[in-house]
Structure 1
Amino acid sequence: MALDKTQENTHPINSLGFAKPPSETRVVVAMSGGVDSSVVAAKLADEGYDVVGVTLQLYDHGAALAKKGACCAGIDIHDARRVAEEKGFPHYVLDYENIFQDAVIDEFADSYLGGATPVPCIRCNERVKFKDLLETAKDLEADCMATGHYIQRKMGNRGAELHSAENAGKDQSYFLFSTTPEQLSYLRFPLGHLPNKEATRALAAEYGLSVADKPDSQDICFVPNGDYASVIEKLRPGSAEPGDIVDHEGVVRGKHNGVLHYTIGQRRGLGIGGLSEPLYVVKLDVDKKQVVVGPKEMLATRTIPVKEINWLGDEPFDSEKEWHLSVKVRSTRPPREAIIRPTGPTTAEVELLTPEEGVSPGQACVFYAPEGSRIYGGGWIWRG
């Protein structure tokens, strides 16, 4: 790893990029209690770094304990603390429940009720982990903060760059596109170069960690079993108002029990019988309380308006220039060739060279190099 420009070459560069011994390099590790972040903490502790583990309590212990497979739940706090005890470094639990509620959960509910399909994990990284927690790390006089995310930080000619993980199947770049250059200069991702999750678990076993065989977290941490609607109904009572399912010509095809139960591109569970061809959800009209359905070809989108763009390119995001990159419009889809035309300092129109189906407001549009692994940032898809 290249030397950070702020460091003088008075000592061999350590594995975190600082010109001083590991023992004099303090690193705060964001510990979720899972295998990944536990391996990061154990690895750095074994290398002699001054490790401080920090775990965030994001919601009530009692409620969290009742939900299996979620990060930042009560059992995960216990597991993180146990790893710290096993490896002999200090560990702190910070109560971020109010911050998480305001910055992530409330917006998730409101966005869903507005007909969007939000990605709360991105907002959590952006507004909680890489904002408030990062500032806490600086308050603890840490030289950097490390996480267990599968993504790579590489030093380029103009500073730190964000790159996809070595293992495409575990790559989390879609969820980290909003990481700013300033944050990136302070962050470290020690697992991004590993070939697969088995390699991480092998390290956990090598370090003798009690979480070596712990299952990966599933779903959004505060949404049990992926049931978004029930969570939103609890957060916003009375939000599941019934309405009509109409086709693209306005003909009523059925009834629904709340727009929040549907997503763009959905085919199953519409409750519409006697169709000559399959119909898909092509639009959610919250104001009219309508779920609009149509044939599959109506899902194809070529032009996408994007806002709140975080740009990570070397050159300014200039409205005088077009950017020929690849973009992802959903985390599970591969990047597709696109032309990005800036319309303002943080807005753009993205033209897909091949139309995509099921592009939904509230999802992220992440920019990638046409070749290679670099991420150029991204923004949020909106209606226009």
Structure 2
Amino acid sequence: MNEVDFQLGEPLAGKRIVVAMSGGVDSSVVAALAARTGAETIGVTLQLYDHGEATGRAGSCCAGRDIRDARAVCDRLGIAHYVFDHETRFRETVVDTFADAYLAGQTPIPCVQCNTGPKFTDLLSLARELGADCLATGHYVRRLVTPTQVELHRGADPARDQSYFLFATTQPQLDYLRFPLGGLPKPRVRAIAADLGLGVAAKPDSQDICFVPDGDYAGLVRKLRPEADTAGDIVDLAGRRLGTHRGIIHFTVGQRRGLEIGGSPEPLYVVRVDAATRQVVVGPRAALAVSAAAISGLNWLGGDYDGPITAKVRSMAKPVPARLDGDRLRFAAPEYGVAPGQAAVLYAGERVLGGGWITATEPAALPAVAA
């Protein structure tokens, strides 16, 4: 296979590659491609859930059936496979953070927390302890080596690009990581798995939030934080009470469904979630428009780049023209659905410049409120 490049120099015999294996088709193909280079290849899986509780769980990763699948792939490839118990660390750094963010009225992105914690920081340390020359993962992003630095770029397949979730990757991490699938479309990856006889070739992809397999985010938060069910008021932009809600964990900025408010002449959306007062503030779509967002924890991969940028403020959104002004990201045109707790990821074309966490927004123009 000459479709991927581990960029370890030639020949690869004598090199050691650790592959982060979740039990899915992507990481399994990475392991197979790594083994075919001639390098010693080791598969490593982090157990992130209670093994007994997770056995047979669909739509997850790094648990139960997935661990067995990863081991079966390694057995077929004739490579070593190790499982490390990271359940406590995952719960503390990802799951608890997810619950606390909802209680704070934010919209969290646990996949970023997982990548910057257990998957990259912890796995990277394990790979170094194993004497590996690199850590390879199945993420759909590209790693380009230039004369001055290593750059992170969007995946070649727009439908699979995962760069939004990897904005917090640091430069030292990027120097050590490899993303062999970044230049491939997903159908090609499945075809490689089938050609190699891997049992996971047709295995469905895991969902975005793997530890909420049934999609009931509020139920998980309620289980972890019983106080999350405290009721409150739904108010309009002027603070007038329009109704009640069962808990702020059921609402995110931009949401329209579930408000159960009648009598409004136009559709109403969640404009703001106030954790202190437990109020859900609603208004017309125009009230969702923001001109700027406050950014914290900026991770910059752009080096000396000082040209035009675009920003992506939701995983499914398109990058839009913007400029970075200190800790403020200012949009060239009003942007909608910008929610505290989400990430703002910055690009120069296909290159990922970095990003940070949205902590607050500035309204572009609030609609007039009747007296």
Q: 1:323: how far off?
A: 5.5
| Alpha-carbon contact 1:364-1:380 (below 8 Å) kept | yes
Cross-structure match for 2:32 = 42
Q: 1:101: how far off?
A: 1.0
Cα root mean square deviation, aligned: 1.3
State the AA in 2 paired with 1:324: P
Cross-structure match for 1:351 = 330
| Alpha-carbon contact 1:116-1:360 (below 8 Å) kept | yes
* % identical equivalent positions: 53
Choose which of 337, 356, 359 in structure 2 pairs with 1:382.
Answer: 359
Unaligned runs of 5+ in 1: 1-13, 317-321, 343-347
Runs of 4+, deviation exceeding 4 Å: none
Choose which of 107, 122, 128 in structure 1 pairs with 2:112.
Answer: 122
Alignment TM-score, normalising by the size of structure 2: 0.94
State the AA in 2 paired with 1:325: I
Alignment TM-score, normalising by the size of structure 1: 0.91
For the pair 1:19 / 2:1, whether they are aligned, the reply is no
Q: 1:158: how far off?
A: 1.6
Unaligned runs of 5+ in 2: 362-371
Choose which of 276, 287, 306 in structure 1 pairs with 2:276.
Answer: 287
Cross-structure match for 1:203 = 192
Cross-structure match for 1:97 = 87
| Alpha-carbon contact 1:254-1:272 (below 8 Å) kept | yes
- Matched residue SS, 1:192: coil
Length, aligned pairs only: 358
State the AA in 2 paired with 1:253: L
CA distance in 1, matches of 2:138, 2:56: 24
Q: 1:73: how far off?
A: 2.1
| Alpha-carbon contact 2:51-2:64 (below 8 Å) kept | yes
| Alpha-carbon contact 1:301-1:357 (below 8 Å) kept | yes
Cross-structure match for 2:241 = 252
Cross-structure match for 1:340 = 324
| Alpha-carbon contact 1:29-1:53 (below 8 Å) kept | yes
Q: 1:20: how far off?
A: 4.3
Cross-structure match for 1:345 = none
CA distance in 2, matches of 1:307, 1:359: 15
Choose which of 29, 46, 50 in structure 2 pairs with 1:56.
Answer: 46
Choose which of 362, 365, 372 in structure 1 pairs with 2:341.
Answer: 362
Cross-structure match for 1:301 = 290
CA distance in 1, matches of 2:56, 2:6: 38
For the pair 1:111 / 2:88, whether they are aligned, the reply is no
Q: 1:44: how far off?
A: 1.2
| Alpha-carbon contact 1:323-1:339 (below 8 Å) kept | no
- Matched residue SS, 2:84: strand
- Matched residue SS, 1:239: helix
State the AA in 2 paired with 1:116: Q
| Alpha-carbon contact 1:264-1:284 (below 8 Å) kept | yes
